[in-house]
Amino acid sequence: MIAVRTRLAPSPTGTLHLGNARTFLINWLGARQAGGAVVLRIEDIDRARCRREYVERCLDDLRWLGLTWDEGPIFQSARLASYEQVFARLVEAGAIYPCVCTRKEIAAAASAPHADDEGPSYPGTCRDRFATADDATRAAGRRPAWRFRVAPGEVPFDDLVLGRVALDPSRTGGDFVVRSFDGTFAYQLAVVVDDAAMGITEVVRGDDLVPSTPRQILLHHALGSTPPRFAHVPLVVDAEGRRLSKRHGDADLGLMRAAGIDAGSVLARLARSCGIDADARVAVEELISRFEWSRLPRSRVVLD
């Protein structure tokens, strides 16, 4: 049996909220229960949106909750040479092609997309249009982005929370961007390269990333790596049904910490939302043996 390895993968684009903490907690409990390792990976390739102060605050929040890690923090911004190598392999294999379509769409690729960001499928305008990146640059007067060729068909996977999921990525998004015109590697590429290089066996994350999973599986296949197992956790919403957002500073963990709220009571509340019986205050270690994937609610969780 392969030892479980999981990752906490925050993007330092804002302060962490209760929903982030809940996903990290589930991830951590699953790993610790299996005697596995936790890698902390800071997803900071989207330089325009990431800030160093958010990295520090995130590490403080994790320590406050007692969510320990065994390796890292590993910064994606320090791994560009690895992405470059994989990118060259994909070019060589003809798995990706240069594309000069809308800048806006392409600029959005660096950040992890969310379910409601999924626009219409890319129509394939630049597929087989240019032999090389230079041809594309000459034709468009600017540098191209790069897209991965998505063949039609379902890409099924067995999700630890959602069960069998089968989506056809050629219908939800189509050929997706792996590198933008300014050279920035896209979230999809960086995540797959890292999950493979770090030997990640379980990916636990919010269910807003479900549409990304078939794309990542296709990239793993193109690179000859085995995709990890996935567990997509339903999102946390506020009393109005709005998804908690880092950008809006919702249910900010740092503010709770600064206000003197006890981490044990936050953990207890999160634990109950995961189907674990918990007293008013708990230490995170007490939850390891009590956690059960099967008791995790399958629908959205309200925490405000």
Does 219 bind ligand GLU (CB under 6 A)? Our answer is no
In the complex with ligand GLU, the residue whose CB is nearer, 191 or 251, is: 191
Q: Which residues pair with 168 in a beta bridge?
A: none
Applying CB under 6 A, which of residues 40, 109, 112, 235 lies at the interface with ligand GLU?
A: 112
Segment near ligand GLU (CB under 6 A); pick from 3-11, 168-176, 219-227, 275-283: 3-11
Nearest to residue 95, comparing CAs of 178, 181, 193, 1?
178
In the complex with ligand GLU, the residue whose CB is nearer, 170 or 188, is: 188
- The distance of closest approach from Cβ of residue 11 to ligand GLU in the complex, given in angstroms and rounded to an integer, is 4
- The distance of closest approach from Cβ of residue 26 to ligand GLU in the complex, given in angstroms and rounded to an integer, is 12
- The distance of closest approach from Cβ of residue 46 to ligand GLU in the complex, given in angstroms and rounded to an integer, is 9
Q: How far apart are CA 209 and CA 50, in angstroms?
A: 19
- Count the Cβ atoms, other than its own, within 10 Å of residue 33: 16
Q: How far apart are CA 220 and CA 90, in angstroms?
A: 11
- The distance of closest approach from Cβ of residue 169 to ligand GLU in the complex, given in angstroms and rounded to an integer, is 16
- The distance of closest approach from Cβ of residue 128 to ligand GLU in the complex, given in angstroms and rounded to an integer, is 30
- According to DSSP, residue 122 is labeled P
In the complex with ligand GLU, the residue whose CB is nearer, 235 or 274, is: 235
- The distance of closest approach from Cβ of residue 279 to ligand GLU in the complex, given in angstroms and rounded to an integer, is 30
Does 191 bind ligand GLU (CB under 6 A)? Our answer is yes
Applying CB under 6 A, which of residues 4, 6, 11, 25 lies at the interface with ligand GLU?
A: 11
Three-state DSSP class for 175?
Answer: coil
Q: Sort residue 155 into left (φ over 0), alpha (ψ -120 to 50) or beta.
A: beta
Scanning residues 36 to 55, which ones bind ligand GLU (CB under 6 A)? Answer: 43
Cis peptide before 73 (omega within 30 of 0): yes
Does 9 bind ligand GLU (CB under 6 A)? Our answer is yes
Segment near ligand GLU (CB under 6 A); pick from 9-17, 130-138, 148-156, 277-285: 9-17
For residue 163, what are its two tokens? 């069960």
* Beta carbons within 8 Å of 126's beta carbon, 6+ residues apart: 97, 98, 99, 100, 101, 136, 144, 147
Does 79 bind ligand GLU (CB under 6 A)? Our answer is no
In the complex with ligand GLU, the residue whose CB is nearer, 11 or 273, is: 11
For residue 102, the number of C-alpha atoms closer than 13 Å in the C-beta half-sphere is: 11
| Alpha helices (H) in the chain, listed in sequence order | 18-33, 52-65, 80-92, 103-107, 133-140, 187-197, 212-223, 253-258, 263-273, 284-287
Scanning residues 196 to 215, which ones bind ligand GLU (CB under 6 A)? Answer: 205, 209
CA dist 267 → 76, 211, 212, 270, 271 (Å) = 29, 29, 29, 5, 6
Does 5 bind ligand GLU (CB under 6 A)? Our answer is no
Does 110 bind ligand GLU (CB under 6 A)? Our answer is no
Segment near ligand GLU (CB under 6 A); pick from 5-13, 57-65, 261-269, 294-302: 5-13
Q: How many residues bind ligand GLU, per CB under 6 A?
A: 8
Footprint of ligand GLU (CB under 6 A) = 9-11, 43, 112, 191, 205, 209
